[in-house]
Amino acid sequence: MGIDYSQLHDPNAEYTMRDLSSETMGVTRERGGDRDVEITDIQTTMIDGNFPWTLVRIYTDAGITGTGEAYWGAGVPELIERMTPFLQGENPLDIDRLTEHLVQKMSGEGSIGGVTVTAISGIEVALHDLAGKILGVPAYQLLGGKYRDEVRVYCDCHTEEEADPDACADEAERVVEELGYDALKFDLDVPSGHEKDRANRHLRDPEIEHKAEIVEKVTERVGSRADVAFDCHWSFSGGSAKRLAERLDEYDVWWLEDPVPPENHDVQREVTQSTTTPITVGENVYRKHGQRRLLEEQAVDIVAPDMPKIGGMRETQKIADLADMYYVPVAMHNVSSPVATVASAHVGAAISNSLAVEYHSYELDWWSDLVEEDVIEDGYIEVPEEPGLGVTLDMETVEEHMVEGEELFDEA
C-alpha cells in the first residue's frame, strides 16, 4: 500500500496567513457562459524517455481536461499529489492566482526553488492547456498574443565520440544537411585526456586547447549555415571559465552556456563581463526572483530559463519581460517531451525577445509519436492554433513507454 501524499500533515500549508484560495479570497461570483468550471482531480504519469518526463493531467467537472508536463526529477509526482487538494474545487481559469496559491501553500516544502517549483510548473502548464480549451483559444493568446507564427528550434547534438573534434564536426554537418536545423548546441565539458583532477574545476591549457579545437572544427564546418552554441554544465572555476571564453573569442560562438556553477552570481557576472563571447545562464535559476540579479547586474548575455522547471509559462514570460528591460534575448532550455516543448513554443511566440527553444531528443526515434500532431518541421515549431497547447497525447505510445511500475492516468 503506497503513501497517500495528498493527506500528509503540514502545519504551514494548513495555517498559512496568505491563503489565496477562492474561498479565502472571496472569488465566488458567477462567470457566465461555460466558464464556471471546477477542478476535480490531478493525475501524473511518468514516461521513460531520454529523460523521465512527468506528464500532468487536470480533470474538471465539465469533462474538459488539461495536459502539461513538469521537468524530470524524483519526487515531482508525489509533490503534485500533495498539492491536488489545494486546487480541487477551484476554477482553472485563474492561472496566476492558483499558481501563487500553490507557492504559498508549499512554502514550508521549498517553493522558492527545486522540485517543488518544478511540480508547480507542471500543474501551471496543464492549467494553460485547460484554460485554452475552456475559452476556445490557443495558449499563446492567454499570454497576450503572438509576435511570430513559428519558433526557432536549436538541436542539442551528441555523438558517440563526443571528445573527438572531427566527429563533432561530422555530426554538426549531418544535423544541418540531413535534419534541416540551422541552430545547434554541443557539449564542451567532455573528457580531453589531459585532466589531472576532476574535482577542482580548474582547466589546464591543454584542456582549453582541446575545447577550442572542438569549437573551431564545428563552427568552421557549418559556417554560416547554422548558429552553434556550446554547453559547459557548470563545470569550471571562474578563472578557468574566463580563460576558456577568451580563447573562444575568435570563433563564431552563438553562446557559451553555464561555464561556472549557478549559485554565485558575482562570479557569473565577472565571467560574462570579461569576454565578448556571449554567455548564457538560467536553467538552474528558479522563478523571476532567481533571474533578477543576473539581469540587473548584466551578468548574462542570453537568459535560458527551462520553462517546465523554473515556474511555468507565465513565470517564463515574466522573466522574459524582465530580460527585455535589459535588452537580453531568451533561449529556452528544454529537455522535455513534445508536450512541454510545444508549451515552450507558445511562450516563445508570445514574448518579443525569443531567440530559440531547445530540442534534446533527436536521437529518440519515438519522441514525436508521443503526440498525434507534428511538432518540429525543418528546425521550427509552427505554433498551434487549436485551443490550449494544441497537442493530443497518443495514449498507446504513452502506455508503451511508461516508467516501469507507473500507472497510466485516466483518458480525457
Percent of the chain past pLDDT 70, that is, above it, reads 100
pLDDT at 13: 78
pLDDT at 14: 76
Q: How far apart are CA 330 and CA 318, in angstroms?
A: 11
pLDDT at 367: 98
pLDDT at 378: 96
Does the pLDDT value for residue 290 go beyond 70?
A: yes
Supply the DSSP string of 317-339, one letter for each residue: HHHHHHHHTTT--EEEB----HH
What CATH topology corresponds to 143-386? TIM Barrel (3.20.20)
The mean per-residue pLDDT over the stretch 135-147 comes to 98
| pLDDT per residue as tens digits for the range 177-220 | 999 999 999 999 999 999 889 899 999 999 999 999 999 999 99
Q: How far apart are CA 145 and CA 11, in angstroms?
A: 40
Q: How far apart are CA 116 and CA 119, in angstroms?
A: 5
Does the pLDDT value for residue 156 go beyond 70?
A: yes
The mean per-residue pLDDT over the stretch 9-38 comes to 88
Does the pLDDT value for residue 1 go beyond 60?
A: no
Question: Which helix H or strand E contains 294, and what residues bound it?
Answer: helix 287-296
Q: How far is CA 59 from CA 41, 313, 378, in A?
A: 5, 19, 35
Q: How far apart are CA 150 and CA 376, in angstroms?
A: 10
Alpha helices per DSSP H over 325-375: 338-350
Does the pLDDT value for residue 348 go beyond 60?
A: yes
The answer to whether the beta carbons of residues 304 and 276 sit under 8 Å apart is no
What CATH topology corresponds to 5-136? Enolase-like; domain 1 (3.30.390)
Specify the 3-state DSSP secondary structure of 2: coil
Specify the 3-state DSSP secondary structure of 207: helix
- 178 burial via Cβ count (<10 Å: 0-12, 13-18, 19+): exposed
Measured at the alpha carbon of residue 14, what is the angle toward residues 9 and 20, in degrees to the nearest 5?
A: 140
| pLDDT per residue as tens digits for the range 68-112 | 999 998 999 999 999 999 999 999 999 999 999 999 999 988 889
C-alpha cell at 16: 498559512
Specify the 3-state DSSP secondary structure of 252: coil
pLDDT at 357: 98
Beta bridge partners of 81: none
Domain spans of the chain? 5-136, 143-386
The answer to whether the beta carbons of residues 279 and 246 sit under 8 Å apart is no
Confidence tier at 11 by pLDDT (50, 70, 90): confident
| pLDDT per residue as tens digits for the range 240-289 | 999 999 999 999 999 999 999 999 999 999 999 999 999 999 999 999 99
Q: Please give the mean pLDDT across all residues of the chain.
A: 96
pLDDT at 39: 98
Residue listed under C-alpha cell 509559462: 313
C-alpha cell at 31: 462567470
| pLDDT per residue as tens digits for the range 362-405 | 999 999 999 999 999 999 999 999 999 999 999 999 999 999 99
Residue listed under C-alpha cell 514574448: 351
pLDDT at 362: 96
Specify the 3-state DSSP secondary structure of 284: coil
pLDDT at 8: 85
Phi-psi region of 174 (alpha: psi -120 to 50; beta: other; left: phi over 0): alpha
pLDDT at 108: 87
The mean per-residue pLDDT over the stretch 12-27 comes to 86
> Going by C-beta distance under 8 Å and a sequence separation of 6 or more, which residues neighbour residue 405?
none
Phi, psi torsion values for 332, nearest 5 degrees: -70, 120
The mean per-residue pLDDT over the stretch 99-127 comes to 95
Percent of the chain past pLDDT 90, that is, above it, reads 91
- Closest Cα to residue 188, out of 221, 156, 233? 233
Handedness of CA 235, 296, 320, 183 (dihedral sign): negative
Supply the DSSP string of 117-144, one letter for each residue: HHHHHHHHHHHHHHHHHHHTSBHHHHTT
pLDDT at 159: 95
Residues 362-394, buried b or exposed e (16+ Cβ, 10 A)? beeeebbebbeeebbeebbbbbbeebbbbbebb
